[in-house]
Structure 1
Amino acid sequence: MQRAIGSIEVPFLQNGVVVRQDHAAWRHLAAKWRIRGDTVYLNHGSFGLPPIDVQEALHRWRHRLDEQPVDFFVRQLPELLHSARGRLAKFLNTSADNLIFQENATEAMNVVARSIELESGDEILLTNHEYGAVERVWDRECRRSRAVLRVAELPGFSTAPPSREQITESIVSQFSDRTRLLVVSHITSATAWIMPIKDLVEAASKRGILICIDGPHSPAQIPLNLDETGCDFYTASLHKWLSAPLGSGFLYAHPRVAERIRPNRLSWGVLPPRTPTAWRDEFEWMGTRDPSAFLTVPTAIEMMESVGLDAFRERTHSLACFAQQQIATVTGRPPMTSPTNFGSMVTCLLPQGDSDTLQATLWNDHGIEVPVWEFCGERLIRVSCHLYTQEEHIRRLTEALRQEL
């Protein structure tokens, strides 16, 4: 099965396998990115690369700001932000009233942490697969309020992938009468697992526990309908899989909790003579800053939608599956999870050894940018695939691992 992108025929997949080996269409799309010639970039999950169209749109917004900042900030910006937020809301299947732009998921998570009123003895529950910065945010907040930070241990993965039911049970079993908030990744950073969010939201709601989803890897990588998740808060970065500019992200707050949200720093909220009338108004004017990244988000959405989000997901998931299979042929290690539980990036088990040295060697000697780290007593490698990724990049990584392991 194929879908046309303009005059280009895009190959689809059957049972997770590339239908044909002619990747001219995908190479055509890869040309939308400008990547340094000495680099095989397999780390989109850390810092996404904006395509050329997005870079140019960002520069146009900055030029428009710089050539007349008073007119831009005072007369144009409120409507421009409203329009950009509305486009993002449509993409995320929610109302613009439920969203604010934030620089990244970490900034948004800090807003949530300072907006939750905790008392001594209250409990915040995370998992041991949460991003390190998120754990630091909540550790500080719990210390400040004398609340308790608890960490649920997810099932091991060294010998066999855990089931979604096992993952859910490992978290829900840690709920207590003092649990006020569950913070959980939609897609985990270190292990690239798609978490059972629907089941977790349902379980938390039954206990009256708020839930904040940390979702920097979700927008574009997987379908996202914020209204249907049922969560209270959702934080995300847009510079990853959506390939929007660095400095673009968002915070979603469900209407039932939105009025709890408070900014970490206080400014005008909205420029006079307007005054804040809704929770989101406090975040429009946080002091003088460059909003160009926020205003470029619609360009990134349009670019990804012009390719076709289904085509993007099928193509990149196929490459991630290929990477999982190829790396296993070198390491002999079992998969950490099944293909149904990861999307455009996959984490694989490696033999024990020094992670920093291997990552440095892959870059210095092979020109491959890919993260290697220690996690839960294992050495892991995480491969991210985007529209510029080719099968030959995976083969180069596989051959490099064969030489270095």
Structure 2
Amino acid sequence: MHPLAAMWDLDPDTIYLNHGSFGPSPRPVREAREAWTRRLEQQPMRFFCQTMEEDLWKTSETLAAFVGTQPDRLALVDNATIAMNIAAWSIPLQARDEILLTDHEYGAVRNIWNSRIQGTGAVIRTATIPLPVTDAQAVEAVVSQLTEHTRVVVVSHITSPTACCLPVAEICREAKARGIIVCVDGPHALAARDLRLDEMGCDFYCASCHKWLCAPFGSGFLWAHPRHHANLCVPLTSWGGSISGRPRTWQDRINWLGTRDPAPLLAIRDAVAFFSPDVLRQFRDHAHGLVAGVRQELLKIPGTGPFSTSNEEDFVCMVAIELPQPPDWKPGYHGKPDPLQIRLRDEFRIEAPVGSWGGRRYLRVSAHLYNTKAQMDLLVSAVRQCLAESIHAD
């Protein structure tokens, strides 16, 4: 067990292997969030009207240093979904414009862009990226679908359903050469990879901070290139402007969206502080060792196979394994998970998502500092038993 595992207060009766979906915070971050809320409750007028904007700015400064940018290019938002909505509605569209997504994009992201094109005459196109894939193949899969009508490319940094790291800098470079806007969906890359947003070449970068960075739920950011600041459209209208008399900035339209508790956003700086360079290295090494090891063991089970990659350098803290499909298998969906996921949860007390992509069934395993090899061994044993019983039942 890693020495920092005690910083998390997880249910001791559950083996939690789904940090990639909902990442709980360590104790210092939770305490910081609670302290911000107490400060708000003690003197709301002072908090909202005098100190909040300065505190949000200080948080942006801390986060900017962590992700390789400047604080005036960041807006703090509740999650990547809000960030992507702002990006989508800030790009003018017209008839025949094309929005190119890959077939690995998160469902909510595809929904956002399907909503955005309504009434514009623009269309959604999809670039198919086969698995397993090399960087060169991923770039070619996207570039081959670019046309004179392509207005926007939407691409994940690390894909949610397939745990695949895509070469976003190279994709940005190809798009930029053609005058095409790029929106990067990056929740799974934050803290898992070193980010240099000013050097990436994208127009927008959207992320949630509650995943590998372990900031509170309800914390994220939008990075926007300065050329887009004047035209940013927030699809929720409120006061805007500065309530404390500070000079107007583009972030004002986002910072004040009505009365809310900004404690999760303000505690981002505490999450960054928790992940000192040494702790960040320990997290990556520990998590990678666990998921690489469990991947090797799961691949020994009959019927399983590599899913997104065969190269251990392509993943850090999350990996997907292909699973066999029973004859009567049907993909799970929101509200009705795969039967294996339900059995892992109810019988073995293991939280690990089982999903489908491109007609293929997979198990996705995440690891963080609180996870152990013993937990991974229990997962392997449970999956082996469930799959063997499934085959025997057929």
Structure 1 and Structure 2 fold alike (TM over 0.5): yes
What is the CA distance between 1:275 and its match in structure 2?
Answer: 7.3
Aligned match of 1:300 in 254, 263, 271? 271
- 1:156-213 CA deviation, whole Å, 9 max, x = no partner? x3xxx22221111111100000001100000000110000112101110111101010
Partner AA of 1:188 in structure 2: T
What is the CA distance between 1:271 and its match in structure 2?
Answer: 4.0
Q: Which runs of 5+ in 1 are unaligned?
A: 1-22
Q: Is the 8 A contact 1:349 1:379 kept in 2?
A: yes
Q: Is 2:325 the counterpart of 1:352?
A: yes
Aligned match of 1:399 in 369, 381, 386? 381
- 1:366-385 CA deviation, whole Å, 9 max, x = no partner? 00000001211111000001
**3-state SS, counterpart of residue 193 of structure 2:** coil
Counting only pairs closer than 5 Å after superposition, residues 95-114 of structure 1 correspond to structure 2 as 95-114=70-89
Question: CA separation in 2, counterparts of 1:251 and 1:326?
Answer: 38
**3-state SS, counterpart of residue 355 of structure 2:** strand
Aligned match of 1:44 in 3, 19, 22? 19
Partner AA of 1:351 in structure 2: P
Q: Is the 8 A contact 1:81 1:295 kept in 2?
A: yes
**3-state SS, counterpart of residue 227 of structure 2:** coil
Aligned match of 2:196 in 225, 235, 239? 225
Q: Is 2:359 the counterpart of 1:377?
A: yes
Counting only pairs closer than 5 Å after superposition, residues 204-283 of structure 1 correspond to structure 2 as 204-272=175-243, 274=245, 277-283=248-254
Question: CA separation in 2, counterparts of 1:400 and 1:63?
Answer: 43
Partner AA of 1:264 in structure 2: P
What is the CA distance between 1:44 and its match in structure 2?
Answer: 0.2
Aligned match of 1:90 in 59, 65, 68? 65
Q: Is the 8 A contact 1:269 1:276 kept in 2?
A: no
Question: CA separation in 2, counterparts of 1:297 and 1:162?
Answer: 34
> Which position in structure 2 is the counterpart of 1:319?
290
What is the CA distance between 1:281 and its match in structure 2?
Answer: 2.1
Q: Is the 8 A contact 1:276 1:282 kept in 2?
A: no
Question: CA separation in 1, counterparts of 2:244 and 2:72?
Answer: 21
Q: Is 2:95 the counterpart of 1:120?
A: yes
Aligned match of 1:183 in 150, 154, 167? 154
- 1:48-68 CA deviation, whole Å, 9 max, x = no partner? 011111111111110110111
Aligned match of 2:258 in 265, 283, 287? 287
- 1:31-75 CA deviation, whole Å, 9 max, x = no partner? 010000110000000000111111111111101101110111001
Question: CA separation in 2, counterparts of 1:182 and 1:287?
Answer: 32
Partner AA of 2:198 in structure 1: D
Residue-pair matches, total:
376
Aligned match of 1:329 in 296, 300, 306? 300
**Superposition RMSD in Å:** 1.4
What is the CA distance between 1:144 and its match in structure 2?
Answer: 2.9
What is the CA distance between 1:277 and its match in structure 2?
Answer: 2.7
What is the CA distance between 1:99 and its match in structure 2?
Answer: 0.3
What is the CA distance between 1:307 and its match in structure 2?
Answer: 4.5
What is the CA distance between 1:282 and its match in structure 2?
Answer: 1.6
Question: CA separation in 2, counterparts of 1:162 and 1:291?
Answer: 40
Q: Is 2:17 the counterpart of 1:31?
A: no
> Which position in structure 2 is the counterpart of 1:165?
136
TM-score normalised per structure 1: 0.90
Aligned match of 2:112 in 128, 137, 158? 137
**3-state SS, counterpart of residue 263 of structure 1:** coil
Name the % identity: 44
Counting only pairs closer than 5 Å after superposition, residues 42-81 of structure 1 correspond to structure 2 as 42-81=17-56
**3-state SS, counterpart of residue 31 of structure 1:** helix
> Which position in structure 2 is the counterpart of 1:148?
123
What is the CA distance between 1:221 and its match in structure 2?
Answer: 0.8
Question: CA separation in 2, counterparts of 1:126 and 1:31?
Answer: 40
Q: Is 2:346 the counterpart of 1:364?
A: yes
What is the CA distance between 1:265 and its match in structure 2?
Answer: 1.4
Q: Is the 8 A contact 1:194 1:343 kept in 2?
A: no
Partner AA of 2:320 in structure 1: T
Q: Which runs of 5+ in 2 are unaligned?
A: 333-337, 388-394
Q: Is the 8 A contact 1:262 1:279 kept in 2?
A: no
What is the CA distance between 1:241 and its match in structure 2?
Answer: 0.5
Partner AA of 1:59 in structure 2: E
TM-score normalised per structure 2: 0.93
> Which position in structure 2 is the counterpart of 1:192?
163
Q: Is the 8 A contact 1:233 1:251 kept in 2?
A: yes
Q: Is the 8 A contact 2:305 2:323 kept in 1?
A: no
What is the CA distance between 1:386 and its match in structure 2?
Answer: 0.4
> Which position in structure 1 is the counterpart of 2:316?
343
Over 3 Å counting, the alpha-carbon distance change for 1:43 and 1:250 in structure 2 is same
Question: CA separation in 2, counterparts of 1:236 and 1:245?
Answer: 13
Question: CA separation in 1, counterparts of 2:129 and 2:247?
Answer: 42
Question: CA separation in 1, counterparts of 2:376 and 2:140?
Answer: 35
What is the CA distance between 1:270 and its match in structure 2?
Answer: 2.9
**3-state SS, counterpart of residue 29 of structure 1:** helix
257-266 vs 121-130, which moves further:
257-266
The runs of at least 4 aligned residues of structure 1 exceeding 6 Å deviation read none
What is the CA distance between 1:256 and its match in structure 2?
Answer: 2.2
Partner AA of 1:186 in structure 2: H
